[in-house]
Amino acid sequence: MSGTGFPGFADPVLDAQAAFRAVLAAMSRPGQVQRLPPLPEPPPGLSPAAAALLLTLADSGTPLCLAAGPEAEAWVRFHCGAPFAAAGAAAFVLDPAARLGDLFPGTEEEPERGATLLLDVAALESAPGWRLSGPGIRDSQALRVTGAPPGFLADWAANRRRAPCGVDVVLCAGDAIAALPRSVAIEEG
Amino acid sequence: MSHDPGYNFAYLDESTKRMIRRAILKAVAIPGHQVPFGSREMPLPYGWGTGGIQVTAAILGPTDVLKVIDQGSDDTTNAVSIRAFFRRVAGVATTERTAEASIIQTRHRIPERALREDQILVYQVPIPEPLGRLEPRIAETRRMHAMADYGLMHVKLYEDIARHGHIATSYSYPVMVNGRYLMSPSPIPAFDNPKMDQMPALQLFGAGREKRIYAVPPYTSVKSLDFDDHPFRPIRAPQTCELCGSRDTYLDEVLTDDVGGRIFVCSDTDFCTERQAVREAAE
């Protein structure tokens, strides 16, 4: 009895590899929009991109904070086996109400333990909106994010001040993603 | 090509790949910081590139084209064995041409040909901790990285100057990444250090025995440590390559007999072969 009628990757090995390469490209070139391999049908409450990222990265070793409804929880429990945790104690956070400042930023000696926030937005485009700069970007990178939470840029500036600690963000819209590693600076315009 | 069905694709099991992939993503997000990972036993001994192989196995896909070099050469035992390993367990295409590769795993060299945005360079790292020779306690070096307390390394370089009149470190020359973390570039010659700065390709580093992964994202500042009055100088033998006539590549010294005969040839065999072909075509 699976407890979920929604499938995972059609090919768990190669689809996870393709999804990982997309998120690796996204993380090493902040703000560039990447496409994830399609998922047959994600459970209600999860975007195709967020669901593919969870299948690719989450497992029993990664506490997960999930606020996407019971069907998504059943799906995660079956396909990933990730233990659920509060936002401040999770390695991966998928909760639209989570604020960057509430998540675990790692420590000075172990900044890699900082959480990764998967943030669903309405749309991602390579168009003027935000101007990103930092490691991974030659001069600057334009990214237009529709539907970012209010006050996100101020939270991001505070997150960046904690360097090398901090939270890394992967923005998800449909099957598209764009990453904001903690090292990147964001300006409007 | 298809892979040996006795193994999971690319040898590692999926849960190990996920763990390595998470470490790689955090390493990219914190340029130059060493991320611990659960290094697995591999079918070859430590020191033969187990860290690089695990990183390659975690990123490799069926459409990748893999090149492996050992000290710049495609045809040494280590390079040949690792290519054969991935042909068998992942069924990927391999190449000796730098321009054709999507992933290049390297032991101790950066190819002479400039790398592109669509390529990934994977380094095999024996000793990831640049401060290890100066401070053996890991608890202490971690604190030094946390506080960006790198005075000790400057003292070491200063002592080089006091003793030899110049900085006598010719390989594994320490670099600062993104102005924050001191990083070992692995034992590449100091000649290769400038290629790391603002490189269009992603650079990943894997140390199997020491269980560390670190990374330099594309277009990231990588500066070799130096002093205003003793600026960093990449060192190469002043000779020309006997085979292709190159004057600007890193050279290996090769003994040709037992009475002092010696020649200098390019360490990067693919680059040298290409130059020889260009030269022959022109003649």
Q: Is residue B242 in some structural domain?
A: yes
Residues of the domain holding B260: 236-283
Q: Is residue B47 in some structural domain?
A: yes
Q: Are residues B216 and B243 in the same domain?
A: no
Helices assigned H by DSSP within B111-246: 138-146, 151-164, 193-196
Across the interface, whether the CB atoms of A181 and B29 are under 8 A apart is answered yes
Q: Are residues B76 and B177 in the same domain?
A: yes
C-alpha span between A87 and A80 (Å, rounded): 18
Judge whether residue A2 has pLDDT over 90.
Answer: no
**C-alpha B195: how far from its chain's center?**
11
What DSSP state is assigned to residue A115? -
CATH number of the domain where residue B205 is located: 3.40.50.11310
Q: Are residues B159 and B246 in the same domain?
A: no
Final residue of a structural domain among B201, B224, B247: B224
CB B78 within 8 A of CB B70: yes
Q: In chain A, which among 102-141 make CB contacts under 8 A with chain B?
A: 107-109, 111-112, 114, 116, 135-138
When CB atoms are compared, the residue of A13, A14, A27 closest to B29 is A27
Interface probe, candidates B115, B129, B219, B221, chain A, greatest A C-beta count within 10 A = B219
Q: Is residue B172 in some structural domain?
A: yes
Q: Is residue B121 in some structural domain?
A: yes
Q: Is residue B129 in some structural domain?
A: yes
Query: Is the CB of residue A181 less than 8 Å away from at least one CB of chain B?
Result: yes
Q: Are residues B172 and B72 in the same domain?
A: yes
User: What type of residue sits at position A6?
Assistant: F
Asked about B266 being catalytic, the answer comes back as yes
Q: Are residues B245 and B212 in the same domain?
A: no
Q: Taking every pair of C-alpha atoms in chain A, what is the biggest distance, in angstroms? A: 52
Domain positions in chain A:
12-180
Distance from A123 to chain B by nearest Cα, in Å? 23
Final residue of a structural domain among B204, B224, B244: B224
pLDDT attached to residue A3? 65
Q: Is residue B49 in some structural domain?
A: yes
When CB atoms are compared, the residue of A21, A57, A61 closest to B59 is A21
With cut-offs at 50, 70 and 90, classify the pLDDT of residue B265. Answer: very high
Structural tokens at position B202 = 């992603």
- Taking CB atoms and an 8 Å cutoff, what residues of chain A touch B18? 16, 56-59, 61
User: At residue B157, what are phi and psi to the nearest 5 degrees?
Assistant: -65, -35
Interface probe, candidates A23, A28, A169, chain B, greatest B C-beta count within 10 A = A28
Number of domains forming the structure of chain B: 2
Asked about B245 being catalytic, the answer comes back as no
pLDDT in tens, A45-94: 999 999 999 999 999 999 999 999 999 999 999 999 999 999 999 999 99
pLDDT attached to residue B120? 98
CB B148 within 8 A of CB B193: no
pLDDT attached to residue A39? 78
Chain A residue with Cα closest to B103: A21
Beta-sheet pairing, B120-124 with B202-207: parallel
Query: Is the CB of residue A17 less than 8 Å away from at least one CB of chain B?
Result: yes
CATH classification code of A12-180: 3.40.50.11310
Q: Is residue B2 in some structural domain?
A: no
Closest CA to B216 of B170, B176, B156: B176
Q: How many CB atoms lie within 10 A of CB B138?
A: 12
Q: Are residues B193 and B214 in the same domain?
A: yes
Q: Are residues B172 and B278 in the same domain?
A: no
Helices (H) then strands (E): counts for chain A: 4, 9
Environment class of B17 (CB within 10 Å of its CB; exposed 0-12, middle 13-18, buried 19+): buried
Asked about B38 being catalytic, the answer comes back as no
Size of interface A-B (CB pairs under 8 A): 106
Coil, strand or helix: which one is B220? coil
C-alpha span between B30 and A181 (Å, rounded): 8
Q: Which residue is catalytic, options B32, B49, B206, B208?
A: B32
Q: Is residue B269 in some structural domain?
A: yes
Across the interface, whether the CB atoms of B25 and A116 are under 8 A apart is answered yes
Q: Are residues B23 and B102 in the same domain?
A: yes
C-alpha span between B22 and B17 (Å, rounded): 9
CB B96 within 8 A of CB B16: no
Q: Are residues B251 and B135 in the same domain?
A: no
Task: Tell me what percent of the residues of chain A surpass a pLDDT of 90.
Answer: 94
pLDDT attached to residue A40? 79
Chain A residue with Cα closest to B8: A13
pLDDT attached to residue A1? 41
Judge whether residue B230 has pLDDT over 90.
Answer: yes
Buried b (16+ CB within 10 A) or exposed e, A51-90: bbbbbbbbbeebbbbbebeebbbbbbbebbebbebebeeb
Q: Are residues B188 and B243 in the same domain?
A: no
pTM for the model stands at 0.97
Across the interface, whether the CB atoms of A181 and B28 are under 8 A apart is answered yes
Across the interface, whether the CB atoms of B31 and A17 are under 8 A apart is answered no
